[in-house]
Amino acid sequence: MNPAAHTLRLAQPAPARVLACGAYLKNRACLLDGDQVHWSAVHGDLSDADSRDALQQSVDDLLAAAHGPVAAVAHDMHPDFFSTRLAIALAHQHQVPAVAVQHHHAHVAVVQAERGLRGTCIGIALDGMGLGTDGSAWGGEVLWVAAQGAQWRRLGSLVPLAQPGGDAAAREPWRLAAAVLHRLGRADEIVSLWGPLVGMSAATMVQTLLARDLQCPRSSSAGRWFDAAAGALGVSVRQPTEAAAAMALEALATDWLAQYELVEPASTFSLDLAPLVGIYFALRGQGDAALGRAAAGFHQAMAGALAQAAGWQARALGCDAVVLAGGCMANRLLVRLLSRDLRQAGLQVVTAQAAGCGDAGLALGQAWVAAATLPQAVFAPAGQTLVLEH
């Protein structure tokens, strides 16, 4: 087995031995066997041929080292991922079901598995994106997840935002900021504001895409809302690496909060962040103090809105635990604010530990859910994907 691989011991054993092929970004596979999680190395993004080859080798190594046959192979529900196609092929080869697990369900299940949660929970899953059951990109989700992850429901989300140009919007925060202007009826400001920075043709194209609703898939992603805020404030036009804009906002907010206290009334919190982000365009160029206060207010508004939504659902459904999951939970300020608001509502806050909050740990959640749902999975023909209903 790869020498970079390692083993994690869980608080309680899984009911079945399952191989999981992991996420598309920061891919890492795992074998769930009893109370042990045998990890592969982190392979990187599966757009890279070397990463795909490494994943193929890793799953072969994991299967060879297993102390018995696997009962299922788990994967993301996106049908076009290499990891999905590999999982289906392996399931067919080993004559076991392939189990598709929704991305954010899996993020919450990582924490359930690692922390030994035995009851139902509310999950707040925040990240860049994952395919939702409605075919759109999710990433700012409030979920109900049953004990051991066997069932789940989407209870709410951040209001979806258009992504002009599709995947290009994740690399260029100015496009998300332009989408906010369009949402607010201020589309005539897009070219004059962004043309001098990104080129008149690019700004005009984005304005046209938004006006005609072409190549503008919607996403509830918390990551994209961070990008929109960073773009509106002029903190980031194009980001060189994933989450660079969000990290810049966190740094501004953290520095500002080291000197000042920000108190926003709960009545201002909303899952629709567009009106708040719309205010930020007027703050461009006003200095770090103004930008820092806005960045802190954005963190508090997002945390407050999600905590309110999760708290209401927890009370309605009789849950007392809220799981914080997904790559955005690497943002320490966001986690601190969410945790504070949830605990003030009398709720237990549970986060990932050794498995991490991001996509590199997602395979554990996939495997945990698949193991819990195998009574359903055994009725699927060998090698056929079982998609879990929500």
- At 318, which CATH number? 3.30.420.40
- pTM value? 0.93
Could you tell me if 199 and 285 lie in one domain? yes
Domain that holds residue 297: 120-352
Could you tell me if 199 and 94 lie in one domain? no
Take residue 104 and report the two structure tokens written for it: 């954010």
Whose CA is closest to 253, among 332, 141, 366, 188? Answer: 332
Mean pLDDT computed over every residue of the chain? 93
Domain annotation covers residue 114: no
Residue 3 confidence class, pLDDT cut points 50, 70, 90: very low
Could you tell me if 88 and 143 lie in one domain? no
Question: What is the number of domains present in the chain?
Answer: 2
The amino acid at 151: Q
How far, in Å, CA of 222 to CA of 161, rounded? 10
Take residue 258 and report the two structure tokens written for it: 């080291």
Domain annotation covers residue 86: yes
Q: What is the pLDDT of residue 6?
A: 85
Could you tell me if 57 and 202 lie in one domain? no
DSSP 8-state symbol, 163: -
* Contact yes or no for 338/308 (Cβ under 8 A): no
Could you tell me if 238 and 347 lie in one domain? yes
Could you tell me if 191 and 319 lie in one domain? yes
- List of residues 6+ apart from 31 with CB closer than 8 A: 17, 18, 19, 20, 37, 38, 62, 63, 65, 66, 70, 367
Could you tell me if 270 and 295 lie in one domain? yes
Q: What is the pLDDT of residue 269?
A: 84
pLDDT 10s digits, 149-195: 889 999 999 999 999 999 999 999 999 999 999 999 999 999 999 99
For the chain, what percent of residues have pLDDT higher than 90? 88
Domain annotation covers residue 2: no
Domain annotation covers residue 366: yes
Take residue 80 and report the two structure tokens written for it: 């076009």
How far, in Å, CA of 248 to CA of 254, rounded? 10
How far, in Å, CA of 134 to CA of 138, rounded? 9
Could you tell me if 160 and 58 lie in one domain? no
Residue 382 confidence class, pLDDT cut points 50, 70, 90: very low
Indicate whether 22 pLDDT > 60: yes
Could you tell me if 79 and 166 lie in one domain? no
Domain annotation covers residue 106: no
Could you tell me if 163 and 244 lie in one domain? yes
* Contact yes or no for 167/230 (Cβ under 8 A): no
Indicate whether 383 pLDDT > 70: no
Domain annotation covers residue 75: yes
Could you tell me if 37 and 95 lie in one domain? yes
CA angle 289, 290, 296 (to 5 degrees): 85
Domain annotation covers residue 110: no
Domain annotation covers residue 344: yes
Could you tell me if 89 and 175 lie in one domain? no
pLDDT 10s digits, 184-204: 999 999 999 999 999 999 999
pLDDT 10s digits, 80-125: 999 999 999 999 999 999 999 999 999 999 999 999 998 999 999 9
Residue 380 confidence class, pLDDT cut points 50, 70, 90: very low
Q: What is the pLDDT of residue 268?
A: 67
Take residue 345 and report the two structure tokens written for it: 């509502």
Indicate whether 385 pLDDT > 80: no
- Residue 15 sits in a domain of what CATH number? 3.30.420.360
* DSSP-based three-state secondary structure for 306: helix
Residue 265 confidence class, pLDDT cut points 50, 70, 90: low
